[in-house]
Amino acid sequence: MFKAERIHRIKEIIFERKQIDVATLSSLLNVTEVTIRNDLEQLEQSGFLTRYHGGATLNASAFPEQPDSNGQVDFFNISYDKEKEELGYVAANLVREREWIFLGPGTTCYYIAKALSKRQNLNIMTNNFSVAGVFANSPSVQLIFLGGQMQHSGMYTVPEDLNKDLEHIFLSKFFFSVDAASLEGGYCLSDINVLDIIRTVSSRCQEPIICVDSKKYDQRSFSRLGDLDYVPTVVTNSSVPAEYHKYYTEHGIRTYTSFDLAPLKL
């Protein structure tokens, strides 16, 4: 990544988060902390931010919060989640130009969409309103939104006949998330409708990819999706517990993290 591009990305991140530490920026942009400190010094001199020990904060007086085109600051009211944002960056790097992907319900897929929002020549199918909102002003992205009964609590739709909707679509990848993961209970969800959607789309795509942030490990939930080898590819945080790291490796599951896009190795 060239310096100009890196500076632009740092400005985007800080404008969105309002403040961030040097270590996080270093991890997200895959450069040294020394490089990040130099970039932050340049941005401080321009008046964009104010540095503090270990990080920086947006110069809020110079950038008052602006509403969107609908007169609202945050239509979906999605709370910022650092771990899910990292998953979004990693998952986005697995998407190739022009292939068809499905982004499922949930805020993890919203973060994947945000990470993809600067890309071009993408083909996306979704039933997630927050994902559709991200690409609302992206003419280079071909988006198919699946209608159906709206689930207000999760901001997604339940299509009347999902198999029929997918009948003439070749999906290369399907990204989805779960509410809990454990060695004994496998992957679980709290919403039975989402579970059914995941099972249907997984059976109709080339590569289902599960995204699990580290807070979901050692947790249980209402409905069981399957064992931890339910899908061959996992995107997770670099802080994945050692016992899950070991399980994935022993079962030949490709595991990508925010630390390194290469599969994990013991």
Which CATH number do you get for residue 24? 1.10.10.10
Domain assignment of residue 181, yes or no: yes
Q: Are residue 147 and residue 235 in the same domain, yes or no?
A: yes
Amino acid 105: pLDDT: 97
| pLDDT of res. 75 | 47
CB neighbour class for 174 (10 Å; exposed up to 12, middle 13-18, buried from 19): buried
Task: Say whether pTM exceeds 0.85.
Answer: no
Helix (H, G, I), strand (E, B) or coil at 200: helix
Question: What is the CATH number for 184?
Answer: 3.40.50.1360
119 occurs within a structural domain: yes
Q: What is the pLDDT of residue 69?
A: 41
CA–CA separation, 205 vs 102, rounded Å? 9
Cα–Cα distance for residue pair 213/198, rounded to 1 Å: 17
Per-residue model confidence (pLDDT) at position 67: 44
- Structure tokens of 129? 């309103």
Within this chain, do residues 32 and 86 fall inside the same structural domain, yes or no?
A: no
What is the block-wise mean pLDDT of the chain (266 residues), using blocks of 10 residues? 81 80 89 93 84 82 47 57 91 94 97 92 95 88 92 90 90 97 96 96 97 95 95 94 95 84 46
Instruction: Give the pLDDT score at 15.
Output: 75
pLDDT at 66: 46
Lookup: tokens for 91: 């998952």
User: Could you tell me if 236 and 142 lie in one domain?
Assistant: yes
Q: Are residues 176 and 224 in the same domain?
A: yes
Residue 5: predicted pLDDT: 79
Q: So what's the pLDDT on residue 65? A: 46
Residue type, 80: Y
Phi, psi angle pair for 58, to nearest 5°? -65, 140
Domain that holds residue 243: 82-257
Number of domains in the chain: 2
Nearest CA to 223 among 261, 185, 260? 185
